[in-house]
Homo-oligomer: A and B are copies of this chain.
Amino acid sequence: MSEPTIIDGKATSAAILDEIKAEVDALKENGCQPGLATVLVGDRPDSATYVRMKHARCQDVGITSFDTKLPGDVTQDELLAKVSELNADPAVHGILIQLPLPSHINEETILSAVSLEKDVDGFHPLNIGKLAMKDREPTFVPCTPRGCIELLERYHVDIAGKHAVVVGRSNIVGLPVALMLLHKNATVQICHSRTPDLKECVQRADIVIAAVGKARLIEGDWLKQGATVIDVGMNSIDAPETKRGYRMVGDVDFESAKAVAGAITPVPGGVGPMTIAMLLRNTVDGAKRTCAQK
């Protein structure tokens, strides 16, 4: 039983951020300054943390970031007006609406209002449609799914002709990553809460993508020997021994999975840092397109 490859999202994302920084430097020399706007509604501490991290990474690579904070009781029309303003702002190349939005706001309406050219999250239905279809080019690829694929590719994991099982079918992770694996010629099975025999499905997978949101659901004996495991899950569990009283674990039980998998992402330090790197990647791609049109 050999040790598996640990797919290091932290190191990989750091390398990607270096690449992005070099690109941003070159763009700036040509008078193109990439900019990302974030919109945070309400005061969820986790959302605030994510937004803060995004701004910090922007700063690291030289992307200007614009910070919009709106109160939790903002009206949908006020939020739409803000989105229009950012759509029209030539200094902004990407707009990120931090989810979830408060329940009185229609998420679909807001996300569809973001200009397609600035939809760095890639959640616009037109974008998802092009992602889904053969021979169409989406303007932006959603960040977390793109991060998963990037990890597979940078670790030279074969996708074509392999069996991939995606557990989870959300619009932001499970569904788009499944579509991307399909276009890369994997045979893809999409599992979810109504799958009766999840363990048996996972056991047949060469590549497992776990995007469920259930701490350590997938155990080592669910895996095929040598499988590649990408664990998207971020679940906080009680950890009285730590200072904060909790810690983050994935949807995969890392300890038992490590003994069977051929390669596996840890949580934290796997997909998480890749998501932000891909957000910056999308922002720079957007800036490049806009500047080239000038």
Chain A 181-196, CB-CB to B under 8 Å as 1, else 0, gives: 0100101111110111
Q: How far is A126 from B125 in the complex, measured between Cα atoms in Å?
A: 6
Size class of the A contact interface (CB-based, 8 Å): 20 to 34
A130 in contact (CB, < 8 A): yes
A74 in contact (CB, < 8 A): no
Using Cβ atoms and an 8 Å threshold, which residues of chain B touch A108?
135-136
Q: How far is A108 from B135 in the complex, measured between Cα atoms in Å?
A: 9
Number of copies: 2
Closest to A181 in B: B190
Smallest CB-CB A-B distances: 6 pairs: A129-B129, A125-B129, A189-B189, A128-B129, A185-B194, A187-B195
Question: Would you list which residues of chain A between 118 and 177 have a CB under 8 Å from chain B?
Answer: 124-136, 160-161, 169-171, 175
Q: How far is A134 from B190 in the complex, measured between Cα atoms in Å?
A: 14
A218 in contact (CB, < 8 A): no
A201 in contact (CB, < 8 A): yes
- Taking a contact as CB atoms under 8 Å apart, the answer to whether B179 and A132 are in contact is yes
Chain A interface (Cβ within 8 Å of chain B)? 108, 124-136, 160-161, 169-171, 175, 179, 182, 185, 187-192, 194-196, 201
Q: A194-B161, A201-B187 are in contact. Are A132 and B132 (CB under 8 A)?
A: yes
In the complex, what's the smallest C-beta–C-beta distance from A15 to chain B, in angstroms? Answer: 30
Q: A129-B126, A132-B129 are in contact. Are A189 and B188 (CB under 8 A)?
A: yes
- Taking a contact as CB atoms under 8 Å apart, the answer to whether B133 and A171 are in contact is yes
